[in-house]
Amino acid sequence: MAPAASRWRRLWWLGLALPLLAGLDRLPATALGQGLNVLDGQIQIAFFQQRGARKAPADPVILAIDAESLELGELLSPSERQNSPIWREMGPWPWPRALQARLAATVLERGAARVLFNIEFSQPSRFGPADDQAFLATLAPWRERVHLAARYGLRDRQGLEVVRLLLPFPSLGAPGLTTLLQSPQGAAEAVPGQDWLDTNLAGFPSPRPRPMAFLAAGKPVPAAEMGLNYLGPAGSLRQVPAWGLLDTPAGFWSGRTVLIGATAPSLGDLQETPFGPQSGTEVQGVALANAMQGNGLRRLPGWGETLLLLLWGIAAAWWLGRGATAGRSLLLILILMVLTLLAGWGLWLGALLRLPLSALLLAALVGGGGRAVGQALGESRERAYLHQVLARRVSPTLLRDILRNPGPIWTQSVGSRARCVVLFSDLVGFTSLSASLAPDELFALLNRYFEEMASAVLAEQGLLDKFIGDAVMAEFGVPRSRGEREEARAAVRAALEMQRGLERLNVELVAAGRAPLRHGIGLHVGEVIAGNLGASQRLEFTVVGASVNVASRLERLTRSYPDHPILISADLLDLLPGELEVEPLGPHPLRGWPEPLMVFGLRGLMSHPKKGPE
């Protein structure tokens, strides 16, 4: 096998293993791990888009600071705004904190279970201390049911990244961390788990804020992050515009979790999601809904993913190892990748489980692809060798036809009935010739002779069946036939060219002081069994039958007719009426043939043949 093919076949195991090892890099820290993380993000986006939007849950309800609430001064006249104590103060952002407190107090008075602010209050109000005091005084009755936002972030200070934890000012109940983890594409992807909190908030004093989603749901923070299970595009969650708060029906807010935050695009708090840009408040609402309903996306624990990657690698190696050819290996790769995607899709949809699909898919693609490349290189070399071997047996035209439509002709031990022209050629007096020449001289002479004989057969698109000592056996009409008459003409032309080739060789031999050669050629057409003959380890395409014996007997009969080196049967002559110049030699009994056979000496082709109907 070629070194390149052998190398590819050895390295495919490495191609299978590397992505699986990189799949263990969950953070990730390596370039390959980062690439797999990006691909996993793209696969998850495709899953979301394939699933489509889902029905919004009852909780949470977003009390939205939307574009209309910010432009209320332009949409309503001063007299209209005076009719509502809330409308009076609505206008461009920022709003006084006292107004935001009245929004929260209103829903709490109407039965809301809790209010969460997705608005940062880390600095004193720009409207002065009185505004902060009004905020606290308004919400004091519900302080344990109101949670303000805390945020973790990085700040560039003179070229250095400074980690900050921004806590709310003023403070009410326990603050909720609104920071969400992002995918490599910059999309909000998950709510931090306890492992992340322990790592990133370890340097800040206790008590440290819990993620807003788990705080609102009243659930403990899990060790691993919770993936965001998006409902759909922007507007999928229930929203009430701030300006329409007082118009909501009685009982609407009873028992509800209310998230107050900006949704107006002009405020710039937009985040990328699988369904397009959404406001940070809507994304936070998705996190709340997932935590409250327990339908956030999750991953296997570290040991679980390690076991999955190991078992999958073993199964994939076994599966891909069944590909005996490059084409079959490619098909197995496709099947394996499709099955992996379907399994990942089913577990994602049904069990809310995120698998490291990029590692699994890339392992199949790279590992199986490496195996397929190695096989393709080996097969290419084998095809080139096979082409070289077959080109010495069949004509280029017939070879192209066989390679385009191989079927079982050359690979299976099958035989089928066919009619063809059989040609036998043999040197006369070869035994005495071989005794008079040195072995190397004899070998060179036979090769020169066979070159002339083979060229004549191949030029007429015949099949070189075999060389037997100094004899040549060829067929015209198998394994493909152009029609009996056309094959008969080709056989006759080949026989005449073989005779001319011998004459050219004899000129060379006489010039070299050697005796000329003489051969006999027999041609007969009839039914044969054509197919592969031999053992399962080695097959040879050939033809067998009485017609083969007749052609051989005709060749032997040429010894009795030195002036007629080419003898043909009446059956062959009947196929080409008026086309051949022959001399009748009468009937001859042939061993193995039931009755005497009419034999004709072939002199050549008619100058102006009268062809019969095809």
120: helix, coil or strand?
A: strand
pLDDT of residue 157: 60
Residue 472: strand pairing partners: 425, 467
Query: Averaged over 4-25, what is the pLDDT?
Result: 75
Residues 6+ apart with CB under 8 A from 447: none
- Cα 471 to Cα 176: distance, rounded to the nearest angstrom: 97
Same domain for 281 and 304? no
Show the tokens assigned to 161: 């990244």
Residue 580: strand pairing partners: 605
Residues 6+ apart with CB under 8 A from 485: 575, 576, 612, 614
For 482, left (φ over 0), alpha (ψ -120 to 50), or beta?
Answer: alpha
Host domain of residue 313:
11-20+300-388
Query: Averaged over 330-355, what is the pLDDT?
Result: 95
| Domain final position from 252, 281, 299 | 299
pLDDT of residue 152: 92
- Cα 149 to Cα 209: distance, rounded to the nearest angstrom: 9
Same domain for 275 and 304? no
259-274 confidence digits (pLDDT tens): 999 999 988 889 999 9
Q: Judge contact between 437 and 445, C-beta under 8 A.
A: yes
pLDDT of residue 185: 80
Same domain for 286 and 316? no
Residues 6+ apart with CB under 8 A from 106: 86, 245, 246
Q: In 10 A of CB 218, how many CB atoms?
A: 9
Paired sense of beta strands 580-588 and 463-468, if any = unpaired
Q: Judge contact between 568 and 459, C-beta under 8 A.
A: no
Q: One-letter amino acid identity for 240? A: V
Q: Judge contact between 446 and 433, C-beta under 8 A.
A: no
Task: Look at the block and give the residue holding tokens 């326990």.
Answer: 174
CA 66 to chain centre: 46
pLDDT of residue 156: 61
Higher pLDDT, residue 614 or 593:
593
Show the tokens assigned to 299: 């991953």
Whether 516 is covered by a domain: the verdict is: yes
Same domain for 201 and 324? no
| Domain final position from 388, 413, 436 | 388
Same domain for 261 and 312? no
Same domain for 332 and 457? no
Q: In 10 A of CB 440, how many CB atoms?
A: 8
Same domain for 312 and 228? no
pLDDT of residue 198: 93
Using a pLDDT cut of 70, give the percent of the chain over it.
Answer: 90
Confidence of residue 439 (pLDDT cuts 50, 70, 90): confident
> Which of 612, 597, 500, 512 has its CA nearest to residue 557?
597
- Cα 236 to Cα 51: distance, rounded to the nearest angstrom: 14
Q: Judge contact between 530 and 420, C-beta under 8 A.
A: yes
Whether 28 is covered by a domain: the verdict is: no
Residues 6+ apart with CB under 8 A from 423: 457, 462, 472, 473, 474, 475, 476, 491, 494, 495, 521, 522, 523, 551
- Cα 257 to Cα 168: distance, rounded to the nearest angstrom: 20
Q: How many domains does the chain have?
A: 3
Residues 6+ apart with CB under 8 A from 124: 132, 169
pLDDT of residue 114: 96
- pLDDT at residue 414 tops 80: no
pLDDT of residue 1: 44
Q: In 10 A of CB 233, how many CB atoms?
A: 15
| Domain final position from 388, 422, 450 | 388
Residues 6+ apart with CB under 8 A from 374: 4, 5, 6, 7, 8, 9, 10, 11, 12
DSSP labels, 246-306: GGSPTTTTTT-EEEEEE--GGG--EEB-TTS-EEHHHHHHHHHHHHHHT--BEE--HHHHH
Using a pLDDT cut of 90, give the percent of the chain over it.
Answer: 61
Confidence of residue 397 (pLDDT cuts 50, 70, 90): low
DSSP labels, 548-588: HHHHHHHHHHGGG-TT-SEEEEHHHHHHSTTTEEEEEEEEE
pLDDT of residue 429: 83
Same domain for 110 and 62? yes
Show the tokens assigned to 89: 């103060």
Residues 6+ apart with CB under 8 A from 55: 231
Whether 40 is covered by a domain: the verdict is: no
- Highest average pLDDT, of 148-162, 186-200, 392-406, comes from 186-200
pLDDT of residue 515: 86
Whether 1 is covered by a domain: the verdict is: no
- Cα 209 to Cα 200: distance, rounded to the nearest angstrom: 12
Same domain for 283 and 324? no
500-538 confidence digits (pLDDT tens): 999 999 999 999 888 899 999 999 999 999 887 766 666
225-237 confidence digits (pLDDT tens): 999 999 999 999 9
Query: Averaged over 100-121, what is the pLDDT?
Result: 95
Same domain for 384 and 408? no
- CATH code, domain carrying 458: 3.30.70.1230
Residues 6+ apart with CB under 8 A from 271: 180, 187, 188, 277, 278, 279, 280, 283
The secondary structure of residue 22, as a DSSP letter, is H
- Cα 65 to Cα 268: distance, rounded to the nearest angstrom: 13
Half-sphere exposure of 178 (CA within 13 A, CB side): 26
Q: One-letter amino acid identity for 269? A: D
The H or E element that residue 162 is part of is strand 160-166
Higher pLDDT, residue 370 or 191:
191
Whether 461 is covered by a domain: the verdict is: yes
Show the tokens assigned to 71: 């432009």
Same domain for 345 and 440? no
Average pLDDT of every residue of the chain? 88
- Cα 87 to Cα 90: distance, rounded to the nearest angstrom: 5
Whether 350 is covered by a domain: the verdict is: yes
Same domain for 446 and 456? yes
Whether 290 is covered by a domain: the verdict is: yes
For 363, left (φ over 0), alpha (ψ -120 to 50), or beta?
Answer: alpha
Burial 552-588 (b: 16+ CB within 10 A, else e): bbbbebbeeeeebbbbbbebbbebbeebbebeebeeb
Whether 27 is covered by a domain: the verdict is: no
